[in-house]
Amino acid sequence: MSLIAITEVKKRFGDVEVLKGINLDVERGEVVAIIGKSGSGKSTLLRCVNGLEMIDDGSIMVAGAQLINDDLHLKALRLKVGMIFQQFNLFPHLSAGRNVMLSQMVVKKTPAREAEAMARRMLERVGLGHKFDAYPDQLSGGQQQRVAIARALSMQPMALLCDEITSALDPELVNEVLAVVKELAADGMTLMMVTHEMRFAREVCDRVVFMHQGRVHEIGPPEEVFGNPRTPELRQFLGAQLVV
């Protein structure tokens, strides 16, 4: 059974239908890149999987549990999938370590010592063990994003959703974040990522989803999607990308 099963998902904002019936299954340990123009609905899809947007129709199942809009079900879902945001969204009043400790202690009621040990391990894993006491405004964008990854990992999710996690970074900081993601993929983490890093998608992902006008337009292994695009829309999209 797939870890994440998205079936006939529809979502509208007012009069605009942004998702027009999405079907997508993600297997355990699979790394899926979602590409497409802005406005194609790719970020919305990701946000639906985390329950940040409520779907109007269809269903989303994560590890057999259905996404239902009430506090209990949402909490259960969000314990299974973590999310990384474009703008990092670190908590500015807490140190990096405290950022990673907070949700463990609040949500899982983990004792402070265990939460701290976990936080140190996770920060170590993203190469920031020495920044435990640094505050977000003392960190570079790349470092902040790595703390955000450590924060999500500390909840021990089954899958991570990455929403354009390098788009807000200066170009020279992109690679340190992608290196962390690559390592996660190698460790077998299930990843769903909306990205503009085509080269990265090609190297690291098992499958690439091309979204266009609220639909999954093309889907397949990266060598196929990038090497042999079947639709004119995808060809045009790829042609507009500088790095392929």
Partner 1 sequence: MTYRFDYSWIAEYWPVILKGLVTTVELTLIGTLFGVALGIACAWTRSLGPRWLRPPVVAYVELIRNTPFLIQLFFIFFGLPSLGVQMTEFQAAVLAMVVNLGAYSGEIIRAGIEATPRGQFEAGASLAMTRFETFRHVVLIPALQRIWPALSSQIVIVMLGSAVVSQIAAEDITFAANFIQSRTFRAFESYFLTTGLYLLLALALRQALRGVGRMLFPRRAAR
The residue ranges that bind partner 1 (CB under 8 A) are: 50-52, 71, 74-75, 78-79, 82-83, 85, 87, 89-93, 102-103, 106-107, 135-137, 148, 151-152, 155
Q: Which residues of 10-39 are buried (b: 16+ CB within 10 A; e: fewer)?
A: bbeeeeeebbbebebebeeebbbbbbbeee
Query: In terms of Cα–Cα distance, which of 161, 155, 153 is closest to 62?
Result: 161
Q: CB of 9: closest distance to partner 1 in angstroms?
A: 19
Q: CB of 96: closest distance to partner 1 in angstroms?
A: 12
Q: CB of 166: closest distance to partner 1 in angstroms?
A: 16
Q: CB of 240: closest distance to partner 1 in angstroms?
A: 28
Query: In terms of Cα–Cα distance, which of 107, 131, 129 is closest to 117?
Result: 129
Q: CB of 108: closest distance to partner 1 in angstroms?
A: 8
Looking at the DSSP bridge assignments, the partners of residue 33 are: 193, 208
How far lies 167's CA from each of 145, 171, 213, 235, in Å?
11, 9, 21, 22
Q: Which amino acid is at 202?
A: R
Which CB, 35 or 101, lies closer to partner 1?
Answer: 101
| Residue 241, both tokens | 């990308």
How far lies 75's CA from each of 11, 78, 158, 208, in Å?
21, 5, 14, 29
Q: CB of 152: closest distance to partner 1 in angstroms?
A: 7
Q: CB of 99: closest distance to partner 1 in angstroms?
A: 9
Which CB, 12 or 135, lies closer to partner 1?
Answer: 135
Which CB, 50 or 225, lies closer to partner 1?
Answer: 50
SS3 225: helix
Which CB, 82 or 97, lies closer to partner 1?
Answer: 82
Which CB, 56 or 91, lies closer to partner 1?
Answer: 91
Q: Are strands 207-212 and 31-35 parallel, antiparallel or unpaired?
A: parallel
Which CB, 49 or 198, lies closer to partner 1?
Answer: 49
Which CB, 106 or 117, lies closer to partner 1?
Answer: 106
Distance CA 129, CA 119 (A): 9
